[in-house]
Amino acid sequence: MASTGKPGSTVVICTDGLANIGLGAFDECKTEDDFAASEEFYEKVGQLAEAAGITINVISIEGDEANINSLSKMAELTGGNVEKVNPTTLSDEFANMLSVPVIATKVESRVKLHKGLQFRNELPENLSADKSILGKKFGNVTGETVFTFEYGMKPISELLAFEDLDMTKITHFPF
């Protein structure tokens, strides 16, 4: 379902605990390799859905033992949501997730900073080699999708190393 639907479609995974049978089963993990294979399964499902332009939402029941860290990767890759809900509000949560239309699929964003600035609190794999470009994949986006990042000035010691920056004349950096 995560790879064969029409772009903009949504798959909702509802779980009441750890996957315990078949592919991606965490209950059957006896070694670190088994656990890694299960995690890889969910990553691949997310990648397939992302490539097809499909959103995956994950609903977990409050009080369950679901491995949300592993399951959330599917939602993260596709622009979906992860919700932990009370069983009595399950139908409302389904309705809320499906009521927000997808406005774009396979969305990627790139932000370039002036060489005197730097990104803060970003994963190294999302940054270019010189750390001046931030690239993020969002999968599908809705009107409620938000993208934020932090940046600040590089340390003076790094700025002084740039031969083409005269720090006595710099009053601001363009953004």
Q: Tell me, yes or no, whether 92 and 18 share the same domain.
A: yes
Structural domains of the chain, count: 2
Angle at 26 between CA 93 and CA 96, to 5 degrees: 10
Residues whose CB is less than 8 angstroms from the CB of residue 55 and which lie 6 or more positions away in sequence, other chains included: 8, 9, 10, 11, 49, 75, 78, 79, 80, 102, 139, 140
Quick one: pLDDT band at residue 82, thresholds 50, 70, 90? confident
Q: Tell me, yes or no, whether 91 and 78 share the same domain.
A: yes
Q: Tell me, yes or no, whether 30 and 94 share the same domain.
A: yes
**Rounded to an integer, what distance in angstroms lies between the CA atom of residue 27 and that of residue 21?**
8
Give the pLDDT score at 130.
85
Q: Tell me, yes or no, whether 14 and 40 share the same domain.
A: yes
- Whole-number average pLDDT of the chain: 81
Give the pLDDT score at 128.
93
Looking at 51, 75, 99, the residue that finishes a domain is 99
Give the pLDDT score at 83.
82
Residues 106-127: pLDDT tens digits?
889 999 998 889 999 999 999 9
pLDDT at residue 140 tops 60: yes
Averaged pLDDT, 59-83: 80
Looking at 71, 99, 127, the residue that finishes a domain is 99
| Neighbouring C-beta atoms of residue 7, cutoff 10 Å | 14
In a domain, 116, yes or no: yes
Model pTM score: 0.60
